[in-house]
Chain A
Amino acid sequence: MNIAVASGKGGTGKSMVAANLAFSLSVAESVALVDCDVEEPNLHLFFPEDQPEVSPVSILVPDVDPDRCTLCGECARFCAFGALVAARDRVLFFPLHCHSCGGCMVACPAGAIRETLRQIGTVTERSISPNLLLVTGTLNEGEVLGVKVIREAKGRAGAERWVIFDASPGTSCPVVETLEGVDFCILVTESTPFGLHDLALAYDVTLQKGIPSGVVVNRSDGKDEVVHRFCNENNIPVLAVIPFERKIAEIQGSGDLIARRDPAWKDRFCAIGRACRSLMEEGA
Chain B
Amino acid sequence: MRICIPSKGPEPGDIVDERFGRAPYYLIHDTETGKNESYKNPAAEGMGGVGPRAAQFLLDHDVNVLVTARVGGNALGALKAGGITILLYDAAGSTVMDAINAYTTGGLREQ
Q: Are A and B physically bound partners?
A: yes
* A interface, CB within 8 angstroms of B: 73, 76-77, 79-90, 92, 94, 97
Contact of B52 among A83, A88, A90 (CB under 8 A): A83
A83 engages B49 (CB within 8 Å): yes
Contact of B56 among A76, A88, A97 (CB under 8 A): A76
* B interface, CB within 8 angstroms of A: 43, 46-53, 55-56, 59-60, 74, 77-78, 81-83
Nearest B residue to A89, CB-CB: B81
The complex places the Cα of A238 from the Cα of B77 at a distance, in Å, of 54
A73-B59, A77-B60, A87-B59 given; A82·B81 CB < 8 A: no
A-B contact count (CB 8 A): 61
A73 engages B48 (CB within 8 Å): no
B46 engages A80 (CB within 8 Å): yes
The interface residues of chain A lying within 8 Å CB-to-CB of B83 are 87-88
Q: A77-B56, A85-B59 are in contact. List 17 more A-B contacts (CB 8 A).
A: A73-B56, A73-B60, A79-B49, A80-B46, A81-B47, A82-B48, A82-B50, A82-B56, A84-B52, A85-B52, A85-B82, A86-B59, A87-B59, A87-B81, A88-B59, A88-B83, A92-B77
Least CB distance, A250 to chain B, in whole angstroms: 45
A85 engages B78 (CB within 8 Å): yes
A73-B56, A77-B56, A87-B59 given; A82·B82 CB < 8 A: no
Nearest A residue to B43, CB-CB: A82
The complex places the Cα of A82 from the Cα of B74 at a distance, in Å, of 9
A87 engages B60 (CB within 8 Å): no
Least CB distance, A33 to chain B, in whole angstroms: 33
B49 engages A97 (CB within 8 Å): yes
The complex places the Cα of A79 from the Cα of B47 at a distance, in Å, of 11
A73-B60, A87-B59, A88-B82 given; A82·B53 CB < 8 A: yes
Contact of A87 among B43, B46, B51, B78 (CB under 8 A): B78
